[in-house]
Amino acid sequence: MDSALIAAVRRFNRTVTQRVGALDDEYMAQGRPLGQARLLWEIGPAGAEVAALRARLGLDSGYLSRLLRTLENDRLITVGPVGQAGGDGRVRVATLTDTGRTQWADLDQRSDDLAASILEPLTEHRRERLVTAMAEVERLLVGSMVVIEPCPPSDPRARACLRAYARDIARRFDGGFDPALSKPVPDEALVPPNGVLLLATLNSEPIGCGAVKLHSDAPAEIKRVWVADTVRGLGVGRRLLGELERYAAERGATAVRLDTNRNLTEAIALYRATGYREIEAYNTEHYAHHWFEKRLGALTAATVR
């Protein structure tokens, strides 16, 4: 990693933490540090499941428990099982008390005031530049929070992604999608040593997947690449594709290939942009209109970013 890039990120982090008051013992003069204030805001008037808070904020369960206990002791929240009839008693929910709702509203207003104080000294043109730059930084930071790792195809998260993949292509294909007409991809083809399914998650929630089948007498085959609409444009599809290529190359594959439908225009553009060339049909997939192949050389970290 370039040391100048690392230094720039650290400099940016120092500037932001100072400007937003993250270093203060009493964030926004509310008598509590940033961690407690942020957790109170995330719980919000509607309340929130403890597990969801842990995933959303990326907090260690022990640290989160201590923060919740502090807010409870200050009579700002209550934490207990779901109270609705038929609710799962194992699911713990944090809920604001009347005092907590008052402090939440005050925190919300102070947050607006802080944002206004950052923008106020700037000209209108510079405000627009700052907000545009912030949006781009946020988008890139969210993209960097995506985790891609192997996952058994039988895992409920993988199943959810594969169902979403099927719904997506059914909506986009001419005449819909009938699995009975498509070449099957059995689970055993997507587990080592036959292949792998990669799952992309953001804050522990599945947001994409992709798979590769390994063949001893033919190029590896990429299948079921899907990314949720909510994270399109973050580079998740490109990362999944690169990681699948890397997986195949590390296991001796010298090429990968895939088939795709003519309506998946974004996918086709991605394949062409990442070095795939169109080839003659290598299978009889009912829904395929294009077939692509890519030779695998020495894959570097840059290849999959």
B/e letters for 4-35, b = 16+ CB within 10 Å, e = fewer, are: eeeeeeeeeeeeeeeebeeeeeebbeeebbbb
Most confident of 7-16, 135-144, 239-248: 239-248
Neighbours of 103 (CB within 10 A): 22
State yes or no: pLDDT of 26 exceeds 90.
no
Q: What is the pLDDT of residue 304?
A: 44
Q: Which CATH number fits domain 146-295: 3.40.630.30, 3.40.50.1820, 3.40.190.10, 3.30.470.20?
A: 3.40.630.30
The first and second tokens of residue 121, run together, are 């000294």
Q: Are 44 and 104 in contact (CB under 8 A)?
A: yes
Domain boundaries, the chain: 3-121, 146-295
Average pLDDT over residues 126-142: 94
Q: What is the pLDDT of residue 22?
A: 82
- Residues 175-212 have pLDDT tens digits of 999 999 999 999 999 999 999 999 999 988 999 999 99
Q: What is the pLDDT of residue 283?
A: 96
Q: What percent of the chain has pLDDT over 90?
A: 80
Average pLDDT over residues 260-268: 96
- When pLDDT is cut at 50, 70 and 90, the band that residue 101 belongs to is very high
Residue whose structure tokens are 């070095």? 275
State yes or no: pLDDT of 58 exceeds 60.
yes
Q: Strands 92-96 and 147-150, how do they pair?
A: unpaired
Torsion sign across C-alpha atoms 175, 178, 181, 185: positive
77: amino acid identity, one letter: I
Q: What is the pLDDT of residue 302?
A: 41
Q: What percent of the chain has pLDDT over 70?
A: 95
The first and second tokens of residue 266, run together, are 């974004």
User: DSSP letter at 304?
Assistant: G
- Residues 212-248 have pLDDT tens digits of 999 999 999 999 999 999 998 899 999 999 999 999 9
Rounded Cα gap, residues 35 and 53, in angstroms: 12
Beta partners for residue 129, in sequence order:
none
- Residues 61-95 have pLDDT tens digits of 999 999 999 999 999 999 998 765 455 667 899 99
Q: Are 273 and 237 in contact (CB under 8 A)?
A: no
Coil/strand/helix, residue 185? coil
Average pLDDT over residues 244-257: 97
What rounded mean pLDDT belongs to the chain?
A: 91
pTM of the complete model: 0.83
Average pLDDT over residues 16-37: 83
Q: Which helix (H) or strand (E) holds 156?
A: helix 156-172
In a 10 Å sphere around its CB, with 0-12 CB exposed, 13-18 middle and 19+ buried, how is residue 281 labelled?
exposed
Rounded Cα gap, residues 47 and 75, in angstroms: 15
Provide the CATH topology of domain 3-121. Answer: Arc Repressor Mutant, subunit A (1.10.10)
Residue whose structure tokens are 């100072």? 18
Residue 230: which residues within 8 A CB-CB, separation 6 or more?
207
